[in-house]
Amino acid sequence: MKVRTRMIAAVVLVTLLSGCSLVEGVRQIDQTLDYTNEAASYVAGAAAWAESIPAMVERAATDPAARDGLIRELESIRSRIERFNGLDAPQAAQDIHRRIVGYNETLQQDIGAFLEKLNGDIRNFDQAYLESGIGRTLGEIAELIGTIQNLGKE
């Protein structure tokens, strides 16, 4: 009788322990999916910024209101960068998160330098934008979409 009780207790214990790991596994999958959605949205935003900012720069060269709009947009991007960098990436996404954060640090510097020029006496907006590296860095971020979409498939 004691052996049977111990066997039942062992089976119950194993079942409970495997259930806990199952719950933990589901939680990790949910976190990975949440992060994947957030990262995909961020990268899609970077691709949209890469497309829209050059036209904004062009308008800003002749229109003070457009210049103010460009400055607001760049400041908004900086805020979005900070929010993204503050995300808690699940284990499966640690490498891609570090890569994006690295690009984001470069992008923060690029934007900061360009904003200084915008707030100063800038003559050639297009050249200043090209020299800033913003477009290149946004393009590098946008190229990560495939990696992000494959996070849950590994």
- Phi-psi category of residue 133: left, alpha or beta, with phi > 0 → left and psi -120 to 50 → alpha: left
Torsion over CA of 109, 112, 117 and 119, rounded to 10 degrees? 180
The DSSP secondary structure of 66-127, one letter per residue, reads HHHHHHHHHHHHHHHHHHHHT----GGGHHHHHHHHHHHHHHHHHHHHHHHHHHS--S-HHH
The answer to whether the CB of 71 falls within 8 A of the CB of 118 is yes
The residue ranking higher by pLDDT, 108 or 15, is: 108
Token pair 């808690």 is found at 88
Look up residue 49 and give its two tokens: 């910024």
What is the model's pTM? 0.77
Residue 12, pLDDT > 50, answer no
More confident residue, 19 or 36: 36
Q: Which of 27-31, 76-80, 126-130 has the highest mean pLDDT?
A: 76-80
- Report the pLDDT value the prediction gives residue 105, as an integer from 0 to 100: 97
Which of 58-67, 108-117, 122-131 comes out lowest in average pLDDT? 122-131
> Is it the case that residue 73 has pLDDT exceeding 80?
yes
Please say whether the beta carbons of 63 and 50 come within 8 A: no
Quick one: pLDDT band at residue 14, thresholds 50, 70, 90?
Answer: very low
Distance CA 153, CA 135 (A): 30
